[in-house]
């Protein structure tokens, strides 16, 4: 009886520990955003381009 309790307790501790290890060592999910930039955005600044709206390029 004592042996069975000990085994169950050991398995519970092991399961919790493995869960902690998985959470602590798992690589973070990564998000990738790709934004095409037309050649017109890579030109020398003109007076029109001084007014920059950051929301327009998102």
Partner 1 sequence: MKPRSFSSRYIFLLLAAILWIFAGFGCGGAAPAATEAPAATEAPAATEAPAATEAPVPTDEVSATRAPVITVLPAIKESRRLTLEFPPQMRAGDSDLIRLTLEVDDLGNITPTAETGGNVIAGETIEIPNLYETHHVIAEARFDMAGVEISPPDLSSQTLAQGQSVTFYWSIRPGETGVYRGTVWLYLRFVDKQNGQESRKAVSAQLVEIEAVNLLGLSANFARATGVIGSVVGTVIGFPFFDDILKFLVKRRKKRGQ
Q: Which residues of the chain form contacts with partner 1 (CB under 8 A)?
A: 3, 6-21, 23-25, 28-39, 41-46, 49, 52, 54, 57-58
Least distance from partner 1 to the Cβ atom of residue 16, Å: 6
Matching residue, tokens 């020398």 = 44
Cα separation, 1 vs 7, whole angstroms? 10
Q: How far is the CB of 46 from partner 1 (least distance, A)?
A: 8
- Residues across the chain: 58
Nearest distance, CB of residue 1 and partner 1, angstroms: 14
């Amino acid at each position: 009886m004592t042996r069975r309790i000990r085994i169950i307790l050991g398995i519970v501790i092991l399961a919790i520990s493995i869960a902690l290890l998985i959470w602590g060592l798992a690589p973070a999910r990564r998000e990738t955003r790709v934004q095409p930039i037309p050649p017109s955005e890579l030109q020398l600044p003109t007076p029109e381009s001084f007014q920059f709206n950051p929301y327009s390029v998102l």
